[in-house]
Amino acid sequence: MSKIENEKQEVDATQEESPLETPCMSRRKLLMTGGKMGGVAAISMLLPGTMFPGKAAAGQGMVSAAVAARTVRYPRTKVGKLSALKTDRPVKIQYPGNAEGQKGLLIKLGEKAMGGVGPKQDVVAFSAFCTHQGGPLEDQYNPKEKSLGPCEFHLSKFDLQKHGIMITASAVQNLPQIVLEVEGDDIYAVGVLGLIYGYQDNLQGV
């Protein structure tokens, strides 16, 4: 056997040895080994245990604590009556709690709106604070545009027919919409879409 053939055989033998016994394994080799070991096992070696707690519980060798689901329940609060609302005349409400920052507006727009309730789906409710830096919006209803704004602080404006999306910045988040339900003539608030300005949790203090 020639010297070159001898060297080639030595190289081949090195590549055949168990990668788990090799102190320094290349990433390519590790991935290829993972393929032989099975996909989940390979991923288990690469990712932190907390990313797949279910797999860990199934005995994949990862350290992980059980994760309990938490269900958030908003109160169901009566906020007005359909028969008492007048088109383009906002009514101040409190939801989900009674704190200053949880003030909102209930408005009959007179035109269909996303998330609107009532026979014409034109009754909506929103937080009364701008999502940019908390500017007060309770006196900023614009009946022509069906919007709230411009905010006194930096001129943001929100479209009340389109889930409170920004019409003009500086805000970068929609105005939180209060989810409504109707039962007979009564209007109930049952949730909030989006985070109220200044809160890490809309239900803080509720």
Which residues are identified as catalytic? Answer: 132, 154
In the complex, the smallest distance separating the C-beta of residue 168 from ligand FES, rounded to whole angstroms, is 9
Question: Which residues, in sequence order, are bridge partners of residue 186?
Answer: 81, 183
Q: 60 vs 173, which CB is nearer to ligand FES?
A: 173
Q: Interface with ligand FES by CB under 6 A: which residues?
A: 130, 132-135, 151, 153-156, 170-171
In the complex, the smallest distance separating the C-beta of residue 197 from ligand FES, rounded to whole angstroms, is 8
In the complex, the smallest distance separating the C-beta of residue 146 from ligand FES, rounded to whole angstroms, is 18
In the complex, the smallest distance separating the C-beta of residue 205 from ligand FES, rounded to whole angstroms, is 22
CB atoms within 10 A of CB 58: 10
Buried b (16+ CB within 10 A) or exposed e, 133-149: eebebeebbeeeebbbb
Cβ neighbors of 53 (< 8 A, separation 6 or more) are: 64, 65, 66, 67
Q: 118 vs 135, which CB is nearer to ligand FES?
A: 135
Q: 148 vs 180, which CB is nearer to ligand FES?
A: 148
Q: 160 vs 187, which CB is nearer to ligand FES?
A: 160
Give the C-alpha separation, 108 to 170, whole Å.
26
Cβ neighbors of 151 (< 8 A, separation 6 or more) are: 130, 132, 135, 137, 140, 157, 171
Please report how many Cα atoms fall inside a 13 Å half-sphere around the Cα of residue 130, on the Cβ side: 27
For residues 62 and 72, the answer to whether their CB atoms sit within 8 Å is no
